[in-house]
Amino acid sequence: MDLHRHLSLFLLLQLAAVLAWAEPRISIDQPQISLTDFRMGYHVDPSQELTFEEVRTLPFAEIRNKVSLGTDARVTWFKLILDNTSDSDQRLFVHLPYAYHLKSVAIYQELNGELAHSDVLDMDRIADTNMMFRGTAVYPLTLPAGQSTTLYLRSASYSHQWLAIEVLDAYASRHTLVGINTDIALMVGMLLALVLYNGLLYFATSRKENIFYSLYLVSGLVWIALSYGLIASVFDIYGAAIFKLNLSLFTMPIFLLLFMMAIFETKLSYPTEHRFLQGLIALLGGTLIWGVFDISAALKPASSLAALMMVVTLTVGISLYRKGHPLAKYFLLGHSAFVVFNGIAVLAYKGLIPLSYVSGHGVGIGIMLEALTLAFVISHRIKLLEDIRASQEELKRQASTDPLTRLYNRRFFFPEANYLLEQAKAADIPLSILILDIDHFKRVNDLHGHACGDQVLVKLADILKEQSRGSDLIARLGGEEFVILLPDTNLLEASQYAERIRGAARALDITGSLNKVQVAISVGVAELDTEQESIESALARADKALYQAKNNGRNQVYRADAAVR
């Protein structure tokens, strides 16, 4: 047993010696330098108290220059050995493009085993240094000809250790600083456009899902702008002043879950799925409250919460799809993209996979893809609602119209006529009513058949439509009887209108089974006393006038007596 322990200790010492001996070195041997992919050393400081003098004697493990080490490496030292093998001094710039999310960075430059220069960048006190430029820390460095320079960087993060180091010459440095954050600005701009568009939709529809979607987008664009340095680049704000904005990492899924509950109407139709979403909202809400008081601690389980959220939302989406919800398949398409890219990002943040553009920007890519898909889901829902509304309107139209003549029926006429009466009374304008029927219509059906009689009804309905104004209300009361309400029309004008339609009916050219069908109508006309008379009363007076026209020989217009006060 002792032999085993001694052997293990010996192997560990040998491994440490090998690591110390085989530390990666970067050779600088040409005038144009743009080093964006290389190996370097790192050492995690769990105590967060190691000094430069202590660290320089410790072994460093090898790692790439773009690294994510998760939440357990909040203070990490990095080591670069730069060998200037050229015969002239080299003026270089060390870039830390993700410095905006750090708490502080300390840089120590060692030359010939001695500390030649050191600098500390505190993100809460950037006015004390000129190292920050649009979210990137830039450290100028001169490498003496033919000598080796060792750089030690102490990176202190608020939560996740996420760092990239680049070594560039003056030209490459300027070029890089000018081009940073253009892709992130494009993402944020697209999300802002969606927010504005969806805000207009909310004012048009007043539906809750539009509000939740807008808040989800706002949370997403805040997180993207914060995490990828756009806020630092544009507003030159760093450190604790903006670190609280990481709370958007919790508000974003909360609003997504509320969006799901609203657009799928889970409370009414899917109670089991609704309870799962409610439970997840409660968990995220509690973490959000925790983050208000201690954001660094609350962010530590954020990756695990994100994984749980992905599992629950995917499970709910699949369940709704299997239950036949028409929007579930589109939600699953966008949310699957969100889950895939966020899963890649979570693995990178935990240090389980290498940091790359896709893994480093996975959350932003996932948010963009899902945001675009959810916009389609909202638009598709609007289309479904419009189709339902159109179907309902068609049903209402069918219920309120006569199927043969396509005029309004009795059921529609009286409520609408009463509404027009109230309008006429309020505006103090005249209102007249006509009732008419076809003379000897039974004889037409008996001699020429019901098909010919239907043709007469349709032709007469067409005349009434052609001779009437858009404001007139025309209805078929039943059989061969029709009624017309004429707003802003007195008794004389209504009588003239009645004569026009009587003459047009007389001129109809309809051929029956035997010979030409002679069509004639009789019309009764009455003007309403809008102050005291009802539609029913005025219609009764017009009906009496109609029978008077029939008694006088038919094919004529007869005016009713004025209403008795």
What average pLDDT values come out for the chain (565 residues) when binned by 10 residues? 45 43 78 88 93 93 88 91 90 91 92 90 84 88 91 91 90 80 80 83 80 89 84 79 86 92 90 94 93 86 83 92 90 89 78 76 84 84 75 72 88 90 92 93 85 90 90 90 93 93 88 76 92 91 92 91 71
Q: What is the pLDDT of residue 558?
A: 92
Q: Are 532 and 431 in contact (CB under 8 A)?
A: no
CA gap 288, 309 in Å, rounded: 14
Crossing angle (nearest 10°) for helices 302-322 and 248-263: 10
Tell me which residue has tokens 């239950």: 323
Question: In the prediction, which pLDDT does 521 show?
Answer: 92
Place of tokens 């670190």: 243
Sketch the domain layout of the chain as residue ranges.
22-179, 182-394, 408-559
How far is residue 449 from each of residues 404, 516, 518, measured CA to CA in Å? Answer: 16, 13, 14
Greatest Cα pair distance in the chain: 133
- Give the pLDDT confidence score for residue 55 in this predicted structure: 93
DSSP 8-state code for residue 513: S
Task: State the burial class of residue 541 (Cβ atoms within 10 Å of its Cβ: 0-12, 13-18, 19+).
Answer: buried
Q: State pLDDT tens for residues 257-307.
A: 999 999 899 998 899 999 999 999 999 999 999 999 888 888 888 878 888
Give yes or no on whether 22-179 and 408-559 have one common fold: no
As a whole number of angstroms, the distance between CA 215 and CA 254 comes to 10
| Nearest Cα residue to 160 out of 345, 299, 361, 64 | 299
CATH of 408-559, one of 3.40.50.300, 3.30.43.10, 2.60.40.10, 3.30.70.270: 3.30.70.270
Cα–Cα distance measured from residue 480 to residue 484, given in angstroms and rounded to the nearest whole number: 14
Number of C-beta neighbours around residue 368 at 10 A: 23
* Alpha carbon distance, N-terminus to C-terminus of the chain: 122
What pLDDT sits at residue 394?
67
| CA-closest candidate to residue 313, choices 272, 364, 253 | 253
Give the DSSP letter string of 194-215: HHHHHHHHHHHH--HHHHHHHH
Nearest to 291 by CA among 405, 159, 413, 394: 159
Q: Locate 481 and state its tokens.
A: 């009887």
Per-residue DSSP letter, 401 = B
Fold of 22-179: Immunoglobulin-like (2.60.40)
